[in-house]
Amino acid sequence: MNMNPEIYSAIRANNNMITTSDVLSMGFSRMLLSKYVKEGLLERCRQGVYMLPEETQDDMYILMLSSKKIIFSHDTALFLNGLSDRTPFTHSVTIPSNACLPKAIIGECNCYYVKPELHQLGAIDMKTTFGNVVRCYDAERTVCDLLRSRTRIDEETVIAAIKNYAESRNKDLNKLSEYAKQFKVEKTLKRYLEVLL
């Protein structure tokens, strides 16, 4: 059995991946995806996400395709922003407090919840090490998130992140102080910066 050329070119155009909703919007059925998996033409990475079998799996990209609500944050955003060279074992994501995530994502990620009106603040697009574009927070938002969640994160990570941020050429201290106000971490940020700067 050969793959439908329209589906194949859509997969190629989307970094060798396709979602069930993509296939349905093209007018094909879910059954076709199951057939392709049985035939070995596609691999199911997770619910609703499929890829060509010979390709390397990009966990971050696959996670993002699984839910439009997630934005990579905390240690994962640190890594994507180049403020840490440690690839996180478990990815951290932030979602609006009024949203639900599939159980599979909750089970495999560190999930943080935020007021819906603050969810998009500082959201940017970044490339993973595989070259796929994912949503994550900018460096300033990431620093504020780490300060806000410091009871869940080891102190070393927080200090290293702020130190790397302070040494970064791309830092925007005005934006950082603006975000710190919105997240009510100004005093904490000041304490850390006084020690490090």
Q: What is the pLDDT of residues 150-191, one digit of tens each?
A: 999 888 889 999 999 999 999 999 999 999 999 999 999 999
Answer yes or no: is pLDDT of 197 > 70: no
Answer yes or no: is pLDDT of 6 > 80: yes
**Does 134 share its domain with 188?**
yes
Residue type, 100: C
pLDDT band at 1 (very low <50, low <70, confident <90, very high): low
**Does 68 share its domain with 90?**
yes
Instruction: Give the chain's domain count.
Output: 2
State pLDDT tens for residues 47-100.
889 999 988 888 899 899 888 899 999 999 999 999 998 888 899 999 999 998
**Does 102 share its domain with 64?**
yes
Residue 127, SS3?
strand
Long-range contact pairs involving 172-178 (C-beta distance under 8 Å, separation at least 24): 172/140, 175/138, 175/140, 176/140, 176/143, 176/144
**Does 160 share its domain with 146?**
yes
**Does 181 share its domain with 86?**
yes
Q: pLDDT over 70 for what percent of the chain?
A: 99
**Does 53 share its domain with 65?**
no
Q: Are 79 and 44 in contact (CB under 8 A)?
A: no
Answer yes or no: is pLDDT of 27 > 80: yes
CA dihedral 56, 138, 156, 193 (to 10 degrees): 160
Give the residue numbers spanning the domain of 105.
60-196
Q: Are 43 and 53 in contact (CB under 8 A)?
A: yes
